[in-house]
Structure 1
Amino acid sequence: MKPPGDHVAREDVTERSAGDYLRFVPQVVSESLEGYDVVHANYGLTAPAALAQVRLPVVLSLWGTDLMGEYGWLSKQCARYCDAVIVMSEEMARELGEPCHVIPHGIDMDRFAPRPKSEARPEVGWDPDARHVLFPYPPSQEVKNHPRARRVVERASEEVEADVELQVVYGVPHAEVATYMNAADALLLTSEREGSPNSVKEALSCNLPVVSTDVGDVADRLDGVSPACVSDDDDELVAGLVDVLDDPRPSDGRDAVRDISLGRMAERIECIYESVV
């Protein structure tokens, strides 16, 4: 056994400021004159640009940090002027405090499907004999709490009779994410807040066990799934991770996410478009 370290797979990720979104206002206003029927703002900071045009109805999708983070006040103000608002979880609906539709973001179950680790690990260059814990976020995003993930993995590694590696993967092409998930033994999420994290749903679709803090709709998604662990207590997160790493095995999570496929999400959003036009 060796102490776990971070093994990073990434491409450059550029953080956007509020000003980066506002500079698109003239373009959105201009484009709105080109025969569209509705403007759909995906993410709270795009809402001011969508509302800057006054001809077309506006649908706003909120994702999590845009409602519950630094600019949550702006998302809430904009939501009042939108014709329909979509949130990812019941927790977000309560936080918004306005009429809204709860539609978790859908996942591509064809892309995120189980594959043997023996196939996936050579493709990402991971040690075939080690235990691999996937952390799919940039360490720079404080809300994801990378330091806590490291602590949990370090403690779990002390109880597992194998090398344990924390794999920090972000900024890679989305088409490759499923390969990393199928190469891993567990997905670890230590976020302080979330809406309906896609990484958890994608992991479930790959039958990858999930160990997570109790944020957003994660507890609902993992209800009845095994193996899985949801807790805000470090000791319980460590125990949940040890359970998976000590006896690596797939979860039965794929059945739990069949109701949130991309097709089902599209059908529900289309109904909202029809209601506001």
Structure 2
Amino acid sequence: MTDLRVLNLVTNADSQFFEAQVEELERRGVEMTTLSVPGENQSQSVDAGTEGSRSVWDYARFYPSVLAHSLDGYDLLHANYGLTAPMALAQPRLPVVLSLWGSDLMGQYGPLTKRLAPMCDAVVVMSEGMAEVYGGDCRVIPHGVDLDLFEPMDRDQARDAVGWPTDERIVLFPYPPKREIKNHPRARAVVDRVADRLADPVSLRTATDIPHERMPYYLSAADALIMTSRREGSPNTVKEAMACNLPVVSTDVGDVAQRLAPVEPSTVSDDDDELVAGLAEILRRGERSNGRENAVEISVEQMGARLLSVYESVAAA
């Protein structure tokens, strides 16, 4: 246990992985206070390529609150997402830990992030690929998965719970189809080609605006997960699928290849023919993966322990 007091800055306090991060660190004895940037924001996730409708003024009026809280006896400030770095660095007292979520480093704000990140006392990224893009001193700590929530369950029982039929092969695309960076048309094209190869009916389904605690049902009800994103950091959806033993077919983005290297069956490729072949084979076999046995290192507990180590080293310095 620790007696650290941490001030969090975040663009979206409702992000599931951020909520899990706070809960796990509080469980370890860290006192956490969270300030969220004012103004309207789109769903800000690891891979989100936009920053909603916030203006420079929204960030400017965020600073007085950051400054006032920074003088209230905290041990450090944790800036979550690169656009919170300017406010974090502008306060004069607290050491700063900066966590990068993906689009803040690899999207339109990447140049700003790369300029400000070296001024922070510690930088955390989610994957080795992000570390290479950043190019500076950093710690790789993927967002963790709650293995007590995400666990395998019977497929037919899960389908009954979500209202899916039991007489077809179902491929899950777990993002809103309109999110361009997720490339739903490519997923649709891959699944259509697979459907032409199999005797059983094959459908592509989405699961969006689903309460987080319900997602294990969808992951257990599906026969495979397909991800055709153009860019990712360390997508939690893949890790959650692993925890539920759901086979994954994905483009080679973020740390997906690293995560799925020991997982069978799974396919990671940027070639559509290979994605089609891999998905077709997974659906023919109708087997679950061994993902869960490889998910221990990406548990929320491991994430919490690694972040706490960063906090302690920064606070001590």
Give the TM-score, by structure 1 length: 0.91
Asked if 1:47 is matched to 2:75, the reply is no
- Paired residue for 1:161, among 199, 209, 213? 199
Structure 2 partner of 1:127: 165
Structure 2 partner of 1:139: 177
Structure 1 partner of 2:189: 151
Structure 1 residue 105 displacement after superposition = 1.1
Structure 1 residue 14 displacement after superposition = 3.3
Kindly provide the CA deviation profile for residues 25-60 of structure 1, in whole angstroms up to 9, marking residues without a partner as x. Answer: 332222222322111112122222322322111111
Would the alpha carbon gap of residues 32 and 131 (structure 1) be closer, same or farther in structure 2, given more than 3 Å must change? same
Asked if 1:109 is matched to 2:137, the reply is no
In the TM superposition, structure 1's runs of 4+ consecutive aligned residues that sit over 3 Å from their partners are none
- Paired residue for 2:55, among 19, 29, 40? 19
Letter in 2 for 1:260: I
Asked if 1:185 is matched to 2:213, the reply is no
Structure 1 partner of 2:261: 223
Alpha-carbon distance between aligned partners in 1 of 2:282 and 2:86, rounded to the nearest angstrom: 45
Letter in 2 for 1:82: C
Q: Secondary structure at the residue paired with 1:123?
A: helix
Letter in 2 for 1:265: M
Contact in 1 for aligned 2:104/2:113 (Cα 8 Å): yes
Q: Secondary structure at the residue paired with 1:26?
A: helix
Asked if 1:269 is matched to 2:307, the reply is yes
Q: Secondary structure at the residue paired with 2:176?
A: coil
Structure 2 partner of 1:28: 66
Letter in 2 for 1:172: I
- Paired residue for 1:235, among 273, 288, 293? 273
- Structure 1 unmatched runs, 5+: 1-12
Alpha-carbon distance between aligned partners in 1 of 2:238 and 2:287, rounded to the nearest angstrom: 17
Alpha-carbon distance between aligned partners in 1 of 2:286 and 2:92, rounded to the nearest angstrom: 55
Contact in 2 for aligned 1:161/1:246 (Cα 8 Å): no
Query: What's the C-alpha RMSD, in Å, of the aligned pairs?
Result: 1.6
Alpha-carbon distance between aligned partners in 1 of 2:176 and 2:116, rounded to the nearest angstrom: 28
Larger CA deviation: 158-167 vs 46-55: 46-55
Letter in 1 for 2:200: A
Alpha-carbon distance between aligned partners in 1 of 2:149 and 2:122, rounded to the nearest angstrom: 30
Q: Secondary structure at the residue paired with 2:249?
A: strand
Structure 2 partner of 1:176: 214
Contact in 2 for aligned 1:18/1:45 (Cα 8 Å): no
Larger CA deviation: 51-60 vs 20-29: 20-29
1:77-96 equivalences in 2 (<5 Å)? 77-96=115-134
Letter in 2 for 1:128: T
Q: Secondary structure at the residue paired with 1:158?
A: helix
Letter in 1 for 2:245: N
Larger CA deviation: 90-99 vs 22-31: 22-31
Structure 1 residue 18 displacement after superposition = 4.8
Structure 2 partner of 1:64: 102
Among the aligned pairs, what percent are the same residue? 57
Structure 2 partner of 1:8: none
Q: Secondary structure at the residue paired with 1:47?
A: helix
Structure 1 partner of 2:28: none
Larger CA deviation: 70-79 vs 224-233: 70-79
Asked if 1:252 is matched to 2:290, the reply is yes
Structure 1 residue 86 displacement after superposition = 0.4
Contact in 1 for aligned 2:220/2:246 (Cα 8 Å): yes
- Structure 2 unmatched runs, 5+: 1-40, 44-51
Letter in 2 for 1:61: S
Alpha-carbon distance between aligned partners in 2 of 1:14 and 1:67, rounded to the nearest angstrom: 18
Give the TM-score, by structure 2 length: 0.80
